Chain A
Amino acid sequence: MPNIASSANGLRALESLAAGRTVIHRLHPAAKLFCALAFIVFTASFGRYDFTRLAPYLFYPFLMMALAEIPYGILLKRVLIALPFCLFAGLSNVVIDRETALSIGGAAVSFGVLSLMTILLKMYLCVMAALLLAATTPFAELTAQLRRLHIPAPFVTVFEITYRYIGVLLEELRSMTTAYRLRSGDRKALDVRHMGSFTGGLLLRGFDRAERVHAAMCCRGYSLRRVPPARRGFAPRDAAAAALVCVPAAALRLFPLW
């Protein structure tokens, strides 16, 4: 129960952050989207041992969090969700690639360890860029911008609907879990015997609820193919902000400092 509630709260926390009114929040969504994409492409394009060359990119998340007045802890906690996957991918390198790459204070650092650190740093930077985009741009504005960029409607719709239905599914799961616990005595977890019917019931309920949510959206004019007009035009300050992020990021990639 607390986990379900905290997952739902996590979604709401990002939405609340996105409703801010700082200088970053006020930027055009196209500028923020472009910055995030460019940043991810540049950081992901570094080699497997380029840990030190990636380090200067840390300026972006910290600068953005400071300017957008986003508490560090909220996003850092979410980055940790991706940590096990990257650790799993990088640990095999530590075992296989044991050749010494450098030594720090007499301690040898293998190429495997270096590649693991690079993977972790890349993951941190890429996930932070995506989270910062979500935390500074209301979701509806983001998907509207994707439509204006002529991203195929089915992709945007799947993205949009998935995001909205996660909340719906969590709500159904929370009420079903509460009802289950109240009638299951001291049992703290779902009994294996009930998992099939519970999951099936959850899916059917979620499906039913999702249909009603979609119907309510359609009744108020929601259309899969409509391209919503921009709330305001792309101003010179948006271009300047995008350049402030993209030019240094590109320069650091093309002309590494070391």
Chain B
Amino acid sequence: MVGETLNVNNLTVAYADGHVAADGVSFALGYGENAALIGANGAGKSSLLLALVGVLPAKSGEIRAGDLILGKKTLRELRSRVGLVFQNPDDQLFMPSIFEDVAFGPRSFGLGEAETAERAEAVLARLGISELRDRSPLKLSGGEKRLCAIAAVLATEPEFLLFDEPTAFLDPRAKRGLARTLSELPQGKLIATHDLPFAAETCSRVLLLKNGRLAASGGAELLRDAELLERAGL
């Protein structure tokens, strides 16, 4: 919804073995805002994204999408408001056809058959991939799979989109296409990546993660601070 904000307050995420993936992270992402979440391998980007949709439990802190605070009872609703596009589309696409995969989310959230079909067709058309509707996800190129994975998440009509390394497995042309697609989506977007040129092209804000902590936050000019990036292992 326009005007809503995804708020993360003092979030700490730890794995069962004690490894702290995110340590006291706080930030806010507005509707329509594009923020890049950058950091070296192992900085905690993917874990942070998984925590934002409740896949990894938070040790402490608060995640709030609009007026909805993430908790056991609100998990389902929060996941309909915050969509996560996984790094590897193969983890996400598993139904026999793209249409069925895109329809999976709306159906799971309890929409009727007619509305589900309408949404799925609309999302496929919006991303320009209607011709893939009956294809198997296993027979698509990397760029096509990426668009289908985005379509599968968009079909649930989330207000915020989280992307985990969206440019992984993509050739330059597919990357350019993805950047165009992202710029046309109105949702608030948090894009975890170490593709700095892509981050500069798509995001107006930058969050720099180092060893699970938010080391810096600011405008796109952070991407040109070579010393800061070097210190963060980028």
Binding site for B on A (CB under 8 A): 12, 15-16, 18-19, 138-140, 164, 167, 171, 209, 212-213, 215-223, 226, 228-229, 231-232
Nearest B residue to A229 by beta-carbon distance?
Answer: B112
Check B97 against A19 for contact (C-beta < 8 Å): yes
Check A221 against B79 for contact (C-beta < 8 Å): yes
- Most B Cβ at <10 Å: residue of A140, A164, A216: A216
Q: Which residues of A contact B95 (CB under 8 A)?
A: 140
Check A221 against B136 for contact (C-beta < 8 Å): no
Distance to closest chain B CB from A227 (angstroms): 10
Binding site for A on B (CB under 8 A): 50, 53, 55, 76, 79-80, 83-84, 86, 88, 90-92, 94-97, 100, 104-105, 107-110, 112-113, 134, 136, 138, 152-153, 156
Distance to closest chain B CB from A46 (angstroms): 35
Expressed in whole angstroms, the Cα–Cα distance for A246 and B90 within the complex equals 41
* Chain A interface helix/strand/loop/mixed: helix
Q: Which residues of A contact B50 (CB under 8 A)?
A: 215
Q: Which residues of B contact A19 (CB under 8 A)?
A: 96-97, 134
Check B136 against A16 for contact (C-beta < 8 Å): yes
CB < 8 Å: which of A139, A167, A226 contacts B108? A226
CB < 8 Å: which of A213, A228, A231, A232 contacts B91? A213
Check B76 against A223 for contact (C-beta < 8 Å): yes
Say whether, besides A18-B96, A164-B94, A171-B90, A215 and B108 are in contact (CB < 8 Å): no
Q: Which residues of A contact B96 (CB under 8 A)?
A: 12, 15-16, 18-19, 138-139
Check A229 against B79 for contact (C-beta < 8 Å): no
CB < 8 Å: which of B134, B138, B152 contacts A220? B152
